[in-house]
């Protein structure tokens, strides 16, 4: 096999891995916009929890669309060094329901 063929095979083999990168929600890209909808909620989460960057979604994304909420992110109390044993469920909601 010539080097060009090997490069093409390597590229095609790696392509599904690149598509998989957006299958799960990212805390910064997907969760923070939802948290910003409620006054003070993002600040509370950032000052209270150490949150893993990548979570899970009820409907994972693919090449055509982003993952859909609700999202679940693993977290632990800020400053702790233990396991990420807390789960943060993040989903859009109305401001009226969140205030009640």
Could you give the CA distance from residue 88 to residue 74 in angstroms, rounded to a whole number?
6
C-alpha to C-alpha distances, 48 to 62, 67, 78, 89, 90, nearest whole angstrom: 31, 25, 5, 15, 15
What ranges do the domains of the chain cover? 22-99
Please give the residue that has the higher pLDDT: either 11 or 46: 46
pTM, 2 dp: 0.70
pLDDT score for 95:
55
Confidence of residue 86 (pLDDT cuts 50, 70, 90): very high
Q: pLDDT tens digit string along 22-46?
A: 689 999 999 999 999 998 999 999 9
Q: pLDDT tens digit string along 45-66?
A: 999 999 999 999 988 888 888 8
């Amino acid at each position: 096999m010539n080097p060009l063929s090997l490069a093409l095979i390597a590229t095609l083999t790696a392509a599904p891995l690149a598509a998989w990168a957006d299958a799960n929600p990212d805390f910064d890209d997907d969760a923070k916009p939802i948290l910003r909808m409620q006054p003070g909620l993002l600040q509370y989460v950032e000052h209270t929890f150490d949150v893993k960057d990548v979570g899970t979604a009820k409907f994972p994304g693919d090449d055509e669309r982003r993952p859909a909420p609700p999202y679940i992110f693993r977290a632990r109390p800020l400053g702790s060094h233990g396991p990420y044993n807390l789960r943060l469920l993040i989903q859009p909601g109305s401001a009226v329901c969140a205030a009640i």
